[in-house]
Amino acid sequence: MPEGYLPIFIYLICAILFPIVLLGLAKLVRPSLPGQVKSEAYECGIQAASNARGRYTVRFYIIAILFVIFDVETIFLYPWAVRHQKLGWFGVAEVTVFLLILIVGYIWAYRKGALEWV
Amino acid sequence: MSQYYTSVDHFVLVPAILLALFGCAVLLFDFLLFPEPRQRKYLVWFVALGLVFTGGALWRQQHFLSVQKIDSITAFGGTLTIDGFALFFNWIFLAASLIVALISYKYLETAGEHQGEIYGLILLANCGMFFLAAGTDLITLFIGLELMALCFYVMVGFLRGDRRSNEAAVKYLLLGAFSSGFLVYGFSVLYGLSGSTKLAAIRMALESRGASDPLVILALVTVSVGLLFKISAVPFHMWAPDAYEGAPTTVTAYLAAGSKAASFAFLMRMFMGPLAPSRELWEPLLAVVAVASMTVGNFAAITQSNVKRLLAYSSISHAGYILLGLIAGNDTGVQGVLVYVLVYVFMTMGAFLVVAALRRKEMLGEDLEDMAGLVHKSPGYAFLMLIFLLSLAGIPPTAGFIGKYFIFLSLIQTGHYVLAVIATLYVAVAIYYYFRIVRSMFISPLTDRAPAATSLGLKLALAVTGLMTLLIGIYPEPFLSLAQNSLLR
Amino acid sequence: MDHILSIVLFTPLVGFLALLFIPSSKPAAIKLWANIAGFAGFLVCLPLVFAFDRSRDFQFAEKVPWIPSIGASYNLAIDGYALLLVVLTGLLGFLSILASWAAIETRLKEYYGCFLLLQVGMMGVFMARDFLLFFVFWELVLVPMYFIIAIWGGERRVYAAIKFIIYTLVGSVLMLLGILALYYEHFRQFQVRSFDVAQLMNTQLDPNLQWWIFWAFFVGFAVKVPMFPLHTWLPDAHTEAPTAGSVILASILLKMGTYGFLRFSLPLLPDAAKNPTVIQVMAVLSIIAIVYGALVCLMQKDWKKLIAYSSVSHLGFCTLGIFALNPAGIAGSMLQQINHGISTGMLFLIVGVVYERRHTREIAEYGGLLRSMPIFTIVFLIAALSSMGMPPLNGFIGEITILKGAYQVSLWWAGAVVLGIALGAAYLIWLFQRTMLGEVSEKNAALKDLNAREIAVFAPLLLLALWIGVYPKPFFQVMDRSVTQIVELVQPGAHAGQMVPNRLASLQR
C-alpha cells in the first residue's frame, strides 16, 4: 500500500472540502434578494446586446490547425536531427519521405485555398 | 537497404507503401491533371489501378507464405506481421475499397458534392486498415486505427452542405476521439505492466501476472471501451445510427463494411493476443456486450423508418453475433468470426448500394416509402436487395447462413447453450424488420415513377456483391478453407 | 435412372429459369409454360413409382460432396414413405398451378415462379439424406410462401405472411441448434465431420442429450405440423393465402413437420421418443389438437378457416399415430398424411371454386348450391366423406389404422380418436348441409357449375381417394419397410406379431 500518497489524499480532500464548506456556509448565512439588474452579465456597465456565443471566423481555426500540423512536423524532425549521424543515408531517405508526404498535404492545402486569408 | 530497413521489412510494407503513394497521388492529380468534373472518372481508374497493384503485392506475400510453407513473416522488429489472418483481412479491405470507389462516382455526382478527395481518402483509409490487420504492436495498431478513423471522419462529413452529414461527422469525431483516449490509456497500462509495446511480450507479461490483478482489469476495461466503440457494440453504439444515416450512402457502406472489418481484426488481435490470459475476465463481459448488442440492435431496428438507420441498428446486432464467435474461442469460433466478417462485408455493402442507387438530386431515397414498389420500377435492384436482406437474416442458401452456421456451431461446441438459443431467437426478430423492407419493395404499390440511378460502376459493384453473397452460400468450400488457413491462435 | 432424383428436384427450377425469359406482356404464354413445367414436374416422379423396389430401403441414392471441410454433401435418396410424399408433391404442385389459371390475374410471372421454387424446396426436403441439405431446403420454402400469401392473398395477407414466416423461422433455427448438437456429438465420438443422416444414426447419444435435441427438433417440426399450441399461424395463413397457396400449404408443407418426426426425431433419438414423459406430452398435445381443432371448426363462420382448423384436427391424428410407436400407428399416420393431402387439398380447391365465383368465404352467404352446381356438390360430398373417414374412401383406411395403433397403447387414446372422427363428421356434414342443401338464393342460383379445367383438377384427387379407400394394399406395401425400420428402432421386436394389414407377413424376414 503506497503510504507516501497519504498526504496527497489528505490535501485532495481538504481542497475539495474547502470551497464546498465556504460556499455552503456563505449561502446559509447571506441574504438572498435576486433582482433582474443584479443577475445580468457584466459588460462594463453597458447593457448586453446579444448572446455571448457569437459566430467567429473559421479562418482562425484553420490557421490554428495548419500551425499544429506543421509544428508537429518540425518537432518530429528533432529526433532525426539528434541521431542523424548514426542513421546515415537511411535516415535522410526516411525523413525525406516524411517531408514529402507532408508537402503533398501542403500543396493540396495551398491549391484548395486554405492558405488564403480572405 | 540498411540495418533499419531490411528487405523483409520492405516486402511486408509494400502494400501500405503503394496505398499511401496512390492516395497522395490521387490528392495531387485531382487538381493537377484532372481539374474538370468530367475527368473525375480517370481518378476512379487510377484508384482501381492502385488497388490492383496493391492486390499484386498482397498476392506476392500470399504466394511467398504458401511456397515457403511458413505461417508468418514478421518485420520491423516484430511490430508488423504478415500471416494468414492479415492477408485474409487485407483482401477484404481491398474488395471493399474497390467497390466503394466504383459507386462513389455516381452517388456523389447526384448529391452534388463530387470532390476528388474522396478517392484519396478511400485509399488512405485502406492504408490504415492494412496496419490494423497486420500490426502486432500497440503503436502500429494505434497508428492504423487513427489513420483509418481520421479518413472516415472526413468522409462521413463529406456532404458539406447537408446538416445531417455535418452532425454525423462531428458526433463520430467527438465520440471517436474520446474512445481513442480510453484506448490509449489502456495501452499505456499494458506498456507499464510489460515494459514493451509488442503484443507477444505483453501476453507473456500478463500470463505471469495472473488475471485478478487490478491493473490488468483496468487495462482490459479501458482497451475494451476503445475496441467496442469501433465495432459499434452496446453500450458504445450511439454514434452508429447517426453516423450511418448522415454520411453519404457509399461512405456508409464503406464504414459499415471496411471499418467494421478492420476494427474486428484489431479486436481479434488484442483479445487473442495480449488479453488472452485474462479470458475468464472478459468472456462474461463480452457475453453481456454481445447479448446487449443483439438486443438493442434488433429491437431498435423494428421501429425505424429510415432504411440507413435500420441497417445501422442491424449492423450493431451483427457485431454482437461476431463477438459470440470470439466468446466461444475455439477454432470453429475464430473461423466463424472470419467467415462472418467476409460475408458481412459483401452483404452489407450490397444492401447499402441498393439504397445509394435510389438517390436523386431532390430525393434522398432513404426512407421505407421511397422504396415502395421498387420491384415494378427496377426488378433487378429489388431482387438483389431481397437476396442481401435474406443473407443478413441468415437464411440459407445465402452467405449469411454460412456465417451464422459457424457461430452457432462454435457456441454449441464450447457449451454456451444459452447464448446459442438467444442468438437463434434473435434471427426471428431480425426477419421482421428485414421483411418490412421486402414488403415495401414487393408489396406496396409504386408511387414514385422516376427511375433509379444506374451506372457502370454501380452495376459492377452490385454484380460483385450479389454474386459473392450467393456464391458463398451455395459453394462456400474455397472460402472456408481460406478462413481455415487464416486462423489466429 | 442414375440421377432421377436430381431430375425430379431440378425440373421445377429449370421451369422457373425458362419462365423468367417469357415477357410479362404474354400472360397466356406464362400460364401455359407454368402448367407445362408443373406437369413435367409430376411426370418425372412417375418413373420413381415404377422403378421402386419394395424390398430395399433407401433407393436412387446420389451423393456428391458439397462442403467437404464440414462434411456436408449433396445426398439424396428416398424410401417408401418419402416416395409417397414425393409423388404427392409432384401431383399437388401441378394441380395447384392448374387451379390458379383463372384465379390470378396480376403479376403472373412472379406467382408461377414462386410456385416452381416452392416445388424445388418441398421436393428437396423429402429427398435429402444430408442434414444440412435438409435444413437448406426446409428454409428455402419460407420465402416463396411468404410472397404467395403476401402479394396475392386476402385482406390481412401481410400480417398472415409475416406471422407465418416468424413462427416457422423460430422453429427452424432452434431445430438447427439440435442438428448442430447432434453433429458435434458425432464428431466427438468418431472424429469425423459428417451431416449424413445414415452415419449420424450410429452416434451413441446419452438419454439426457437426446432429450434436449428432441425438444429442439420438436419446436421446428411442431410449428410446421402444426401442433397445439404452436398452431396459431395456420388459420391466418390459410385463410389469407390464395386458393392454390392454401392447397400447397395444407397438402405438402404441413407434411414436412410429420415427416421430420418420422424421419429424424424417432430414428435418431429413440430413447427420447420412448420416454414416457415425451409420449405423454405428445399425446396430450395431439388429443387437444384433435378435439379442440374440431370444436373450433364447429363454430367457424369462414369456410376457409373451418377447413384450416380441420387440418389441425386431422394432423392431430397423424401425430398421435406417430407417438403410438407401433406399426399400426406409424403406418396409419403415414397413410393418413397422404390422405390428408388429398382430401384437404380437395376441400381447399372447393372453397377456391366458390370464392372465384362469389368472392366471399362466409358460409352464411351460401346455401342450396346443389341446385345450381350439382357436379360440384358431388365432388364436395366425396371430399367431405374422404376427410371425415367414411368407407370406401381413403380417410377411413388411415383412421382405422391409427385407431388400431392408438387402441394398442391406451383406451383413452382410442377414445380421443373416435371422438375426433365423430366431431369431424359433425362439422363437415353441417358445413355440407349449410352450403349445399337448403334454400338457394338468387345469387347462388346464378352460379355456374364446374368447367372442364376444374373437373380436371379434381379428377386425379377423387380417383386417388377412391383407390386408396378401396385398395390400399400397394400403399401399405410401399411404406412397409419404412415403418418396420422406424418401429425397430423405437420398439425392437414389436413388429413381429403386429404388422398392420393382412398378408404382408411374407415380406418380413
Q: Grid coordinates 400397394 are at which residue?
A: C474
Positions in chain A short of pLDDT 50? none
Contact by Cβ (8 Å): B60, B90: no
Calpha distance C265→C271 (Å, rounded): 10
Chain C residue with the nearest C-alpha to that of B395: C139
| Amino acid found at C417 | V
Residue C504 pLDDT class (50, 70, 90 cuts)? very low
* Residue C494, pLDDT score: 59
Q: What is the DSSP string of C293-358?
A: HHHHHHT--BHHHHHHHHHHHHHHHHHHHHTT-SHHHHHHHHHHHHHHHHHHHHHHHHHHHHHHHH
Q: Of C142, C147, C183, which has the smallest distance from its Cβ to B442's Cβ?
A: C147
Q: Give the up-direction half-sphere exposure of residue A117: CA atoms within 13 A in the CB hemisphere.
A: 0
Contact B427 C169 (CB under 8 A): yes
Contacts of B34 in chain A (CB under 8 A): none
Q: Grid coordinates 428416398 are at which residue?
A: C78
How far B291 CA lies from chain C's nearest CA (Å)? 17
3-class state of residue C429 by DSSP = helix
Contact by Cβ (8 Å): B357, B452: yes
CB atoms within 10 A of CB B17: 15
CB atoms within 10 A of CB C21: 8
Burial of C281 (0-12, 13-18, 19+ CB in 10 A): middle
Burial of C446 (0-12, 13-18, 19+ CB in 10 A): exposed
Does B451 reside within a domain? yes
Query: pLDDT tens digits for chain B (489 residues)?
Result: 678 888 899 999 999 999 999 999 999 998 888 888 788 888 899 999 999 999 999 999 999 998 988 888 999 988 999 999 999 999 999 999 999 999 998 888 888 888 889 999 999 999 999 999 999 999 999 999 999 999 999 999 999 988 999 999 999 999 999 999 999 999 999 999 999 999 999 999 999 887 778 889 999 999 999 999 999 999 999 999 999 999 999 999 999 999 999 999 999 999 999 999 889 889 999 999 999 999 999 999 999 999 999 999 999 999 999 999 999 989 999 999 999 999 999 999 999 999 998 888 777 778 888 888 888 888 889 999 999 999 999 998 899 999 999 999 999 999 999 999 999 999 999 999 999 999 999 998 888 777 777 888 888 999 999 999 999 999 999 999 889 888 877
* Residue C509, pLDDT score: 39
Q: Grid coordinates 503484443 are at which residue?
A: B199
Contact by Cβ (8 Å): B278, B135: no
* Residue B412, pLDDT score: 94
Contacts of B432 in chain C (CB under 8 A): 162, 166
Torsion angle (degrees, nearest 10) of CA C442, C448, C454, C455: 110
Nearest Cα neighbor of C317 from C347, C282, C345 is C282
Nearest Cα neighbor of C172 from C260, C298, C274 is C260
* Residue C507, pLDDT score: 47
**Grid cell locating C173:** 433455427
Residue C133 pLDDT class (50, 70, 90 cuts)? very high
**Grid cell locating B182:** 480510453
Contacts of A108 in chain B (CB under 8 A): 27-28, 31
Q: Where are the domains of chain A?
A: 58-111
Nearest Cα neighbor of C265 from C281, C284, C248, C287 is C281
Contact C177 B432 (CB under 8 A): no
Q: Of B2, B5, B28, which has the smallest distance from its Cβ to A104's Cβ?
A: B28
Does B128 reside within a domain? yes
* Chain B contact present for A89, CB below 8 A: yes
Calpha distance B142→B133 (Å, rounded): 11
Does B1 reside within a domain? no
Burial of C61 (0-12, 13-18, 19+ CB in 10 A): middle
Give Cβ neighbours of residue C182 (< 8 Å, ≥ 6 apart): C131, C200, C203, C205, C213, C268
Nearest Cα neighbor of C289 from C258, C260, C268, C266 is C258
Chain C residue with the nearest C-alpha to that of B438: C147
Contact by Cβ (8 Å): C145, C245: yes
Does B102 reside within a domain? yes
Q: Where are the domains of chain C?
A: 1-274, 276-509
Sign of the Cα torsion C280, C283, C289, C290 reads negative
* H helix or E strand, kind and range, residue B105: helix B84-111
Contacts of A92 in chain B (CB under 8 A): none
Nearest Cα neighbor of C128 from C35, C263, C312 is C263
* Chain B contact present for A20, CB below 8 A: no
| For residue C226, cis peptide bond before it (omega within 30 degrees of 0) | yes
**Grid cell locating B22:** 496512390
**Grid cell locating C437:** 342443401
CA A15 to chain centre: 25
Calpha distance B244→B237 (Å, rounded): 11
Which runs of consecutive H residues, i.e. helices, occur in C155-302? 157-190, 197-200, 207-224, 233-240, 243-248, 254-260, 266-268, 270-274, 276-298
| Amino acid found at B158 | F
Does B155 reside within a domain? yes
Report chain C's mean pLDDT, rounded to a whole number.
Answer: 90
Nearest Cα neighbor of B462 from B389, B398, B393, B384 is B384
* Residue C493, pLDDT score: 65
* Residue C502, pLDDT score: 45
Q: Residue C362 pairs with which residues in a beta bridge?
A: C302
How far B154 CA lies from chain A's nearest CA (Å)? 15
CA C411 to chain centre: 28
Domain of B137, in residue numbers: 7-484
Calpha distance B347→B298 (Å, rounded): 17
Interface test with B, best of C172, C176, C208 (most B CBs within 10 A): C176
Contact C180 B408 (CB under 8 A): yes
**Grid cell locating B387:** 437476396
| Amino acid found at B404 | K
Chains A and C touch (3+ CB pairs under 8 A): no
Contact B5 A101 (CB under 8 A): no
